[in-house]
Amino acid sequence: MKICRIQPVWKLCGLLPAFLLALCAALPAQSAMPGVWTNGEAMPSLAPMLEQTSPAVVNIATYTTYQVRNPLLDDPFFRRFFNIPDQQRRTRSAGSGVVVDAEDGYIVTNNHVVQRADEIAVTLSDGRSLSATLVGADEQVDLAVLKVEPDDLTEIRFANSDEARVGDFVVAIGNPFSLSQTVTSGIISALGRSGLGIEGYEDFIQTDASINPGNSGGALVDLHGHLVGINTAIIAPSGGNVGIGFAIPSNMVEAIMRELIEKGEVQRGYIGIAVQGMNAQLAEAFGVEQTNGVVVLDVEAQSPASEAGLRDGDIITRVEGKEIRRVSDYHSQTAVIFVGDEVEMDVLRDGRRRTVTVEIGDNSWEKMRGERVDRRLSGTFLQNFKSEGGTAGSGVVVTEVDDSSDAWRYGLRPGDVIVAANRQNVRNLAELREFARGGDQLLLRVYRAGQFGYVGLR
């Protein structure tokens, strides 16, 4: 579970232990909460819904092997005369996941639950243990999709998270603190939470249902047992639950899941605009009554936005039919816009409303994890090289290298510009991926501190 150690400004929320009693009169007869007979009277209970839903929430155990540098290698004498190998350590961690496609065996969880795992094991509620493979992951939203053998699985249906309201009752299901399946209840406390610095794209559902370490990747469901969100983080000054948890909305989860299943990675689209939120002062300056939406600050030349006819000063009010009230709404929509999509935007320009269609292109400057290019580049982050003038350069720059990775051990360093792979010139990430294929060794020609050199990766 991601724990955001921020001193919260909210007061401690209670867990509403008696909220079921308040539901007795409010729930319609067809609700997913049939009564349990006690002393001749029907009492409200979540048990029937949970009996149908809980089998779809699984425990995920991951195992990771990493190199530990032998301290004797720091001694020049030992380093010169003895071949002392690095030590290996194997760690285990745990989280939760949700079966969303029983027929094909797809499970959704958080990326940080399975990141860098050598082995992933899924334990079902009936005690069965299955080996899982990673289909793909999106670090920017902290989602990952796993696949297991589809043998007698139970799935959870997606709810429409756009219809969620503050005050709706929800239930969190997961495996906190490595305990077997645990259920907690509460309400939706807020929608569209962003600016927390937890993920690259943030549009969280906030809840006061107890979410603790180990709940990562678990389900947040409504009273019908439909998936409202994937639990991902908590705000806790001491590492424990204080009633402020966050879940990724189901609509975002479903869109990214399908992209990962179809392509193995998220090819997030590039629009080419900078925006800021509207307010009363800006509305007065633009001479409009529209106080919701985002105003376009800058349109990059030769970008998809420019080619679609967007201009500085346009006020975007809708994207693909979804109302844009603030900047977080706009960013949540861009999180599920992918390369090749055609996106309709409603804009207000000079007091007149119009619709523009943007053909989404590839983001040339997106930072990418090295393993998405080639497994031997694991532990690195790569980006197309940009010249001082802001135009495309020639090569791929290494922006980060984990000092415990093989890439570091073989000599790759932050700031290196990869200009060739396996003796073929490389201009961008696409060419690096293409030329890296095949062979036991990946031979890179790099430019560093004014000189060229070679790095060989295995």
Residue 159 has pLDDT above 60, yes or no: yes
In this structure, the answer to whether residues 102 and 188 fall within a common structural domain is: yes
In this structure, the answer to whether residues 349 and 377 fall within a common structural domain is: no
In this structure, the answer to whether residues 33 and 172 fall within a common structural domain is: yes
In this structure, the answer to whether residues 211 and 307 fall within a common structural domain is: no
Higher pLDDT, 319 or 38: 319
Residue 29 has pLDDT above 60, yes or no: no
The Cα–Cα gap between 91 and 302 comes to 48
Tell me the per-residue pLDDT of 200-227, one tens digit each, with 9 for 90 and over. 677 889 998 888 777 889 999 999 999 9
In this structure, the answer to whether residues 316 and 291 fall within a common structural domain is: yes
In this structure, the answer to whether residues 89 and 145 fall within a common structural domain is: yes
In this structure, the answer to whether residues 51 and 88 fall within a common structural domain is: yes
pLDDT for position 294: 93
Higher pLDDT, 328 or 278: 278
The residue out of 263, 285, 317 marking a domain boundary is 263
The dihedrals phi and psi of 428, each to the nearest 5 degrees, come to -155, 180
Q: Are strands 182-193 and 169-174 parallel, antiparallel or unpaired?
A: antiparallel
pLDDT for position 162: 87
Residue 55 has pLDDT above 70, yes or no: yes
In this structure, the answer to whether residues 318 and 233 fall within a common structural domain is: no
Quote the longest CA-to-CA distance of the chain: 85
Residue 77 has pLDDT above 90, yes or no: no
In this structure, the answer to whether residues 121 and 12 fall within a common structural domain is: yes
Range of the domain at 153: 1-263
CATH number at residue 280: 2.30.42.10
Using a pLDDT cut of 70, give the percent of the chain over it.
Answer: 79
Tokens encoding 394: 């020639």
Highest mean pLDDT among 169-173, 324-328, 388-392, 432-436: 169-173
Name the pLDDT band for 296 (thresholds 50, 70, 90). very high
Residue 17 has pLDDT above 60, yes or no: no
Higher pLDDT, 180 or 355: 355
Catalytic residue among 54, 96, 138, 142: 142
In the annotation, is 216 catalytic? yes
Residue 118 has pLDDT above 90, yes or no: no
CATH number at residue 69: 2.40.10.120
In the annotation, is 112 catalytic? yes
The chain-wide mean pLDDT, for the chain, equals 82
Catalytic residue among 54, 96, 112, 161: 112
DSSP E strand boundaries for 204-305: 204-207, 219-221, 227-235, 245-249, 269-270, 273-277, 294-299
| 12-26, 176-190, 271-285, range with the lowest pLDDT | 12-26
15 Cβ contact list (under 8 Å, min separation 6): 184, 185, 186, 208, 209, 210, 243
In the annotation, is 142 catalytic? yes
pTM of the model: 0.71
In this structure, the answer to whether residues 301 and 252 fall within a common structural domain is: no
Catalytic residue among 216, 250, 328, 405: 216
